[in-house]
Structure 1
Amino acid sequence: MTVEKQILYLLSKVEQLEGKKIISIYEARNYTPQSIRNMLSKLKKEKFITSPERSVYAITTYGRDFITTIERTENFYQHRWNNKWYMILTEIPETERKKRDAFRRQLIQLGFGQLYNSVYIYPWNLTNKVLNMIDTLEIEEYVTILVSDEFLLNKVHNQGAKGPNEAARIWDLERIHNIYREKLDWIKSEYEPKLHPYLKENLQDPLKLFIFYLEIQEVLDMLLAEDPMLPPEFLPTSWLGTRALAHITKIQASLVHLIPSDSFYHQFLTSVDNNDI
């Protein structure tokens, strides 16, 4: 998640928030006050947030809908697949190029793979999110949604099977696997050594702990935006996704437990258990 989206997430948890509070949080993450002010101005200009009074910010309905649409909170690795495929067929004209590009970007972020030009496919039911995207972009007349449990020709192939529609190619699983490996290496070599003293000694520094929380949440959001969480039959046997997400969830749960419930930062936390991402 970009910092702008993370700021939207923070604002979605409260009625309103002073700009100086937002700045103080991100100064602790080594962002300059001016860079945060610029991000707030950008979000306001794009109507994701509003300013009910000077230097006070609140998320708009549009901003809240945006976060709800793009947020991936369900762990499909824990679901049993019903063998249905959800297909999105689009024919958005060049005159609506911005909407076309935005729709494609959001579909990919939700986990859809591009089967052919203007045809996207996913094994999990995210129809409500897709319909919200279509409604927001006002592209109803250009999109068709199909659901099927059968391919008559050129099905999506399981891991190891050969054919034109290999899951590994459609979703570029090798690239995603490498991203997981890179992030796990960072967690173990850089993040956890800094976090360990706080966990081991139960240190009560709410802001510092919250910064740790935002850092790992940023990694998680990035991974979820990349990982389609395909059913196991389409994944390599060495797949790191399930192990990495379980490890991150465990770290998050520890941080949620450590940040005092009466702390200012506790209101921004999301309860984490084994069923959550």
Structure 2
Amino acid sequence: MNKIVNTRSMIFTLYGDYISRYGNVIWIGSLIRLLKEFGHNEQSVRAAISRMSKQGWVQSEKKGNKSYYSLTNRGKARMDEASKRIYQLESPEWDGSWRMLIYTIPEDKRYLRDELRQELIWSGFGLLSNSCWITPNPLEEQTKDLIDKYDVSSYVSFFKSTYEGMNDHASLVEKCWDLDNINEKYSQFIEEYSKDYIIDKHKIAKGEISEGSCFVKRSLLVHQYRKFLFIDPSLPQELLPEKWVGDSAASLFADYYQILAKPATRFFESVFEQGDPPVIKEEK
């Protein structure tokens, strides 16, 4: 029996993997029915979607006596960025430059500093020294969006630079990210899911697994793999250790995801309301 995943987290997973591809709007009744497959009751779903609305991730609108929910622009931006990273099968190429962000946010705005820190970690930045964050990836646009979002331009300096020493790039990476620990977690993912992949591949070929089970398995697979977004900075190949297994984990995820795709999608479509939902206008 699958362990019940946090309701809010599973709603994010369903938006990213399904709902955003079907017009980005879903009737609350359909959402409740889908989440029932994972062991969530109606009360927990309504409470979670209400919190997400207050946090600015989703917005609602009524049509008759039915409530429909869609991602806000903020929610869509986060889902788009997450999707690019989740379905990235190979490490990105490197242009040889480092991006450096330094902030001096005053103590009375500490809450902004804490929120910005979490956003930087999620985007793949590593902490080089106190209030100094770096990444080899071209995150100029995302960084500008973050600065605008938190209105901290007067406290932030951002550079695109080259590393001139005194050590090599590997030493710099080691100081900012614990790649050994991340690599170990990828190894655990491969060990846990490689056997299930082979078993389910044969079951699907023989028609021995239900569409509902495929839907649950694919959603839980995405949910589990999505956790790497919070720890893996998606470093370029040139900066990764020799025995890096992240790319192998990505390939396993893609293959497993693909064999579950058709039956899982059929189940989703059987529950998802395909009527004429309202056009929800983005809040300003």
The aligned counterpart of 1:254 is 259
Q: Is the 8 A contact 2:57 2:72 kept in 1?
A: yes
User: Could you say what the CA RMSD is over the residues aligned between the two structures, in angstroms?
Assistant: 2.8
The aligned counterpart of 2:223 is 218
User: What is the deviation of 1:227?
Assistant: 1.4
1:154 correspondence with 2:166 = yes
Cα distance change of structure 1 residues 55 and 167 upon mapping to structure 2, 3 Å threshold: same
Which moved further from structure 2: 49-58 or 100-109? 49-58
**1:222-237 aligned within 5 A:** 222-237=227-242
The aligned counterpart of 1:209 is 214
Q: Distance in 1 between matches of 2:236 and 2:73?
A: 34
The aligned counterpart of 2:69 is 57
Amino acid at match of 1:173: L
Give the alignment's TM-score, normalised by structure 1.
0.81
Q: Distance in 1 between matches of 2:80 and 2:152?
A: 19
Q: Distance in 2 between matches of 1:199 and 1:140?
A: 53
Q: Distance in 2 between matches of 1:170 and 1:23?
A: 41
Q: Distance in 1 between matches of 2:124 and 2:217?
A: 27
The aligned counterpart of 1:188 is 194
Match of 1:32 among 34, 37, 41: 41
Unaligned runs of 5+ in 2: 1-7, 273-284
Cα deviation code 1:225-266 (max 9, x no counterpart): 321222334322221111111111111222234446796179
Which moved further from structure 2: 1-10 or 172-181? 1-10
Cα distance change of structure 1 residues 222 and 15 upon mapping to structure 2, 3 Å threshold: closer
The aligned counterpart of 2:120 is 107
Q: Distance in 2 between matches of 1:259 and 1:5?
A: 17
Q: Is the 8 A contact 1:69 1:129 kept in 2?
A: no
The aligned counterpart of 1:272 is none
Q: Is the 8 A contact 2:112 2:150 kept in 1?
A: yes
User: What is the deviation of 1:119?
Assistant: 0.8
User: What is the deviation of 1:128?
Assistant: 0.9
Paired positions, count: 259
Cα distance change of structure 1 residues 47 and 89 upon mapping to structure 2, 3 Å threshold: same
Residue identity over aligned pairs, in percent, reads 22
Unaligned runs of 5+ in 1: 159-164, 268-277
Amino acid at match of 1:234: L
Q: Which structure would you say has the larger RCO, counting Cα contacts within 8 Å and 6 or more residues apart?
A: 2
Which moved further from structure 2: 38-47 or 68-77? 68-77
